[in-house]
Amino acid sequence: MTPESSATPPATVRALRDEAVAVLSRAGVPDPEVDTELLIGHVIGESRGRVQALVVMDAEISAEDAESVRLVVERRAAREPLQHITGRAPFRSLELNVGPGVFVPRPETEQVAQFAIDALRAVPSPEPVAVDLGTGSGAIALALATEVPHARVYAVENSPEAFIWTRRNVDEVGATNLTPVFIDLADALPGLDGTVDVVISNPPYVPDDAIPRDPEVRLHDPHAALYGGPDGLDVVRTISRVAQRLLRPGGTLVLEHGELQGAAIRDILTADGWRAAATHRDLTTRDRATTALR
């Protein structure tokens, strides 16, 4: 037998993809095909669409890259979040840096951000003002700043670990109309009292005794970004008071929350003197956001 005939045949993207999908499927990872294609793309520096094209072409992949793919697939099979492995998370038109210490932005929050964007665009001012309380990665604040470029946006965060990611994303996106602020939420921005047009927040709203089912959330998202007290609404109560201080009369508050919390949040806001509290469903028909007017 010649050396050529005994050599291991080169790996193909198709075979590697099938192997990785099987590994992630056995581990119970949702959407294993999507994650596999994104992980392969991450390793070889290509888009998911390009990876799919390479699968169709039955293209070869180097042994070194194949081994790197297997290593990141093992991490994903252990339920490390995909975004922690790639270091990136998409949000609306942005792609953000994320990792340990910061909440990974979710697709459902993109629709919540739209309520604030619409409210901000409707303000008849040359420079409307918005505040994102508990900004984390900066996802919502950066969406507002880039999609409403004539607005002035403040991104408030009280976690030192998360604020590192806030600053990193603000610097990378280069939104000069966005100001990151590290301060306790209850004390946020007293100099803006009564002048803000829109306040938005995706606060921690999981009740303390409700353990998230997904290991990616339970084991990797910061507890401070998840848990909101016995009923999950302690931070919502704080934000209600802070937003009343910040907003001008007629200003808009937008809150993301769990699907069973809409009625309780409307009661809190109405008791605090907010007007027109209304809960809105996401694209899966689950209650997802509540808005109110100052």
Statement to judge: residues 159 and 182 lie in one domain? yes
Could you tell me if 161 and 60 lie in one domain?
Answer: no
19, 49, 78 - which closes a domain = 78
Note down the domain range covering 252: 89-293
Do 202 and 178 share a domain, yes or no? yes
Question: Residues near 13 by Cβ (< 8 Å), separated by ≥ 6?
Answer: 40, 51, 54, 55, 57, 58, 59, 60, 61
Please tell me whether residues 195 and 147 are part of one structural domain: yes
* Number of residues assigned to the chain: 294
- The answer to whether residues 193 and 285 belong to one domain is yes
The whole-number pLDDT of residue 226 equals 85
Same-domain pairing of 117 and 217:
yes
Helix (H, G, I), strand (E, B) or coil at 128: coil
Give the tens place of pLDDT for each residue, 66-96.
Answer: 999 999 999 999 999 999 999 999 999 999 9
The residue from 59, 78, 97 where one domain ends is 78
Question: Do 67 and 105 fall into the same domain?
Answer: no
The answer to whether the CB of 193 falls within 8 A of the CB of 246 is yes
Q: Is the pLDDT of residue 103 over 70?
A: yes
- Percentage of the residues of the chain whose pLDDT score is greater than 70: 97
pLDDT of 2:
44
CATH number at residue 94: 3.40.50.150
User: Based on the domain organization, do 190 and 53 belong to the same domain?
Assistant: no
As a whole number of angstroms, the distance between CA 16 and CA 32 comes to 13
